[in-house]
Amino acid sequence: METIDSIPISKIRRASKLVGTGAKVGVNYLKYYGSKLVKTEEDAREQLNKDNAEDIYNSLKQLKGSALKVAQMLSMEKSIMPAAYVEKFSLSQFSVPPLSPPLVIKTFKKYFGKTPNEVFDEFNSESTNAASIGQVHKAKKDGQELAVKIQYPGVSQSISSDLKLVKPVALRILNISAKDSTKYFQEVEDKLMEETNYLLELESSKEISEACKNIPNLLFPKYYSEFSSEMIITMDWMTGKHLSEYTTTPESGKKIGQALWDFYMYQMHVLKKVHADPHPGNFLVSEMEELIALDFGCMKIIPEDFHVPYFELIKKDTLANKELFEAKMYELEILKETDTKEEVEFFSQMFHELLSWFAKPFHEETFDFSNEVFFNKIGELGEQYTKNTELRKMDANRGSKHFIYVNRTFFGLYSLMNMLQASDIKINNYKNL
């Protein structure tokens, strides 16, 4: 397996890595302009996206940290991201080169003051799973199998500079302007800073697992404060298959899907604090077909003044009332007082169409998330507006900063529910828990 013996930590080394990637992207665009002479625009653009996705991802996986985390976040945006980027960036959930064993031991000693073998009875210095911010190792203490997550060196120190470096890439991929985008990137930076604080994650993990322990068919590992620090977190080793590797039956898809849906609705509506990183790498399925929830580094607190209008906006009655719908749009900062009449009409129509489909599960007692018509329509609408030339001329940076992680949560949740082919899901079941 490919391993990494060092990670660029200084701003200069990390910047130079991305500058080199930028040069490759520039060459790709030159090839794209040339290929348009002999290929259709669609074929040429598809090849450009594939080449750029490959070069950008290869750079980010060497940098790790927040740069790679942004790629992971973008990989969940299937409705607005070109397919080539989704395919390549989704590798950041599973297929990332780990630190080499010598670097792991050195890093552990720096963070914990001891080598792994001085802390645990057994410790495997080869990673079992490497992601964007840290990697997991298997250990044993007093007969108990443990999972030890170690944060990569320099991650927290490089977040601000990394985001400045990847911002132009993200803006181009998502086709939005840099104007007024500061509050959104600040929200991402604040969340990434929280994700690098493993003591905060330890606290959130214990809080959420205790609050949600009565949800049927849902399991959590036990967390160990005595073997954790700001850069290391230790929990029970949980055995199961990642959601992306699990083959469901109609019965198991419904069972696991209901547990997943209840877990998120309970957090969203009762706790008002949600696990905002719902990708396949954060969930396992046990042999008993129970859902195992892992990794609570990315938690989003949902303030009441956002929660109320957000869920009122997607109600059937609101969608059917033009004045009420527009009032909620202003409340959520989707519409602005400075908008022209044309902008109000355009964005009201656009969001009404998107939300009318997005909100369908909330308009039913039960919902079939295996319905491909539903998912294809959301994808089509996302692609349609991404390519809309009229939208490119307008101020497209819309909505409260809270949309970033709440929308990310829902689109990720929908994707996982579809992956499970979960049907006949009771939408409001969380109220009975």
Supply the DSSP symbol for 4. B
How far, in Å, are 214, 249, 289, 392 from residue 253 at the CA level? 20, 6, 9, 40
Domain assignment of residue 181, yes or no: no
Domain total of the chain? 1
pLDDT of residue 191: 85
pLDDT of residue 19: 45
Domain assignment of residue 308, yes or no: yes
Place of tokens 């780990």: 98
Domain assignment of residue 276, yes or no: no
Long-range contacts of 220-228 (CB under 8 A, 24+ apart): 220/292, 220/293, 221/147, 221/292, 221/294, 224/146, 227/119, 227/120, 227/141, 227/146, 227/148, 228/198, 228/199, 228/202
* Burial of 81 (C-beta count, 10 Å sphere; 0-12/13-18/19+): buried
Domain assignment of residue 397, yes or no: yes
- Cα angle, residue 129 at apex, residues 128 and 134 outer, rounded to 5°: 125
pLDDT of residue 134: 81
Domain assignment of residue 252, yes or no: no
Domain assignment of residue 26, yes or no: no
Q: Which domain holds residue 329?
A: 303-401
Where on the phi/psi map is residue 249: left (φ > 0), alpha (ψ -120 to 50), or beta?
beta
State phi, psi for 339 to the nearest 5 degrees. -65, 145
> What does each of the 433 residues of the chain score in pLDDT, given as a tens digit?
455 454 544 444 544 554 444 444 444 444 444 554 546 656 666 665 676 666 666 666 555 545 566 655 555 555 545 565 555 555 544 455 677 888 888 888 888 889 999 999 999 988 887 767 788 999 999 999 999 999 887 777 777 766 666 666 666 555 556 666 778 878 878 888 888 899 999 999 999 999 999 999 999 999 999 999 888 999 999 999 988 888 889 999 999 999 999 999 999 999 999 999 888 888 999 999 999 999 898 899 999 999 999 999 999 999 999 999 999 999 999 999 989 999 999 999 989 999 999 999 999 999 999 999 998 888 787 767 666 666 656 666 788 999 988 988 998 899 899 999 999 999 999 999 8
Q: Where are the alpha helices (DSSP H) in 270-321?
A: 304-313, 316-319
pLDDT of residue 127: 86
Of the candidates 68, 30, 62, the residue with the CA atom closest to the CA atom of residue 48: 30
Place of tokens 């089509």: 380
Domain assignment of residue 216, yes or no: no
Of the candidates 24, 12, 22, 9, the residue with the CA atom closest to the CA atom of residue 66: 9
Domain assignment of residue 380, yes or no: yes
